[in-house]
Amino acid sequence: MGLIWDMSHSISAFEAVEGDNTEYEIYNAESQALSSEDIYQDLAESLELAISKLSKNVNDSSRYFLIQWEPISSQLTLTVTDDQRKNDAQAVVRCHFTALGKQFQESQFKTDDDKQSAIAAFSEDLHFWCKEFLSTDQGFSQFSLVALFTSGSRDSAVIL
């Protein structure tokens, strides 16, 4: 597909840490992917961009490569963060899967539980695809980072 990336500057990547004067580079793209193959391709492109920023992002306090999936908004956020998962590196990559999110919202599920099950199943697929991609990526393996994945809070992230 080929995503179109837009870079903006912000003083707050997520939740501002008091006294933090870091200016973040936020790389944003919107994916219109709906098929598993197209979603994987856009996921891979997002991961490749985040990995290309590792030499800039990794410092002495870096510990985790955090993959944060927000099922409600269908947004994927990739960042390098510290031991406490509070202080993120300067470059942050975000891919909003707009078509997928719209599909989840507009799909006719028999019950709300069916919808939640479909979203959870997709989150599991995304988790697997991230693990598969990172386990074979030469660029990522050059850094001593622990890859984490979450579809909830940062505190609930699990090791890939």
pLDDT, one tens digit per residue, over 101-126 is 998 888 877 888 888 888 899 999 99
Q: Which two structure tokens, joined as six digits, stand for 53?
A: 């920023």
For residue 102, being part of any structural domain is answered with yes
Q: Per DSSP, which regions of 52-143 are E strands?
A: 64-70, 75-81, 91-97
For residue 45, being part of any structural domain is answered with yes
Looking at residues 76-80, what average pLDDT do you find?
96
For residue 6, being part of any structural domain is answered with no
For residue 76, being part of any structural domain is answered with yes
Domain ranges, residue 124 = 22-153
pLDDT at position 16: 43
CB of 33 closer than 8 Å to CB of 100: yes
Collapsing DSSP to helix, strand or coil, 134 comes out as helix
State the total domains in the chain. Answer: 1
For residue 41, being part of any structural domain is answered with yes
For residue 81, being part of any structural domain is answered with yes
pLDDT at position 18: 47
**What is the dihedral angle through the alpha carbons of 14, 36, 41, 48, rounded to the nearest 10 degrees?**
40
For residue 123, being part of any structural domain is answered with yes
